[in-house]
Amino acid sequence: MNRIVPVVLLLAAAQPLFAQAPKSSPAMANPVVGSARPVYEIVKGYLTKAAEQMPEENYAFQPTPEVRTFGQLIGHVANAQYVFCSAALKEDDPHKEDFEKSRTSKAALLEALKASFQYCDGAFMKITDAMATEPIKLFGMDVTRLGTVVLNVSHDFEHYGNIVTYMRMKGMVPPSSQPRPQASGG
């Protein structure tokens, strides 16, 4: 029961964004899976912008020896996305590289992050509402395909929270706190 509550809250939070989807959009063809997509797009934007915004020299920043560097966080998110989204697609993880350990440069980690988002974009496009409740095993838990992509979004937001802290420690304003562009009114 307590695992259902975050999913319900996530889907409820996405409804205003979902309501704005064009009637012919994939979200309307699969409204259950489509309702999770806007929240995924939000965290995708935040993580990508944060990774782009952080200067190269701060990719090695580590607040304490016990925690990951900024770059390792980006690598970890990229790795995890392949795990979650391949599970949701019932595929083998297509990428076996451990980005957290193998890549250190900003360019290489950004490339890995963007590729992992592209792979997860495919999961959101391929999983239909009819497939959404199919059971799968993930980390020994019984979940659904939809639950797995929602867990991915939750995991992304968890680590975006870490990234916000790292950015604040470096005197930076994270993407989620930056002013929104004003809509041009006619």
Non-local (6+) Cβ contacts of 6 within 8 A are: 150, 154
Instruction: Tell me the average pLDDT across 80-84.
Output: 97
CA 77, CA 156: separation in Å to the nearest integer?
7
Query: Locate tokens 């937001």: which residue?
Result: 157
pLDDT value at 186 more than 60: no
pLDDT band, very low/low/confident/very high, at 27 (cuts 50, 70, 90): low
Cβ partners under 8 Å of residue 128, min gap 6: 29, 30, 33
Work out the burial of residue 43: count CB atoms within 10 Å of its CB; fewer than 13 is exposed, 13-18 middle, 19 or more buried.
buried
- Could you give the domains of the chain? 4-18+32-173 (1.20.120.450)
At 69 the pLDDT is 98
Is the pTM higher than 0.85? The answer reads no
Q: How far apart are CA 30 and CA 90, in angstroms?
A: 19
11 versus 93: the higher-pLDDT residue is: 93
pLDDT in tens, 155-165: 999 999 999 99
pLDDT tens digit sequence for 115-136: 999 999 999 999 999 999 999 9
Q: How far apart are CA 6 and CA 25, in angstroms?
A: 25
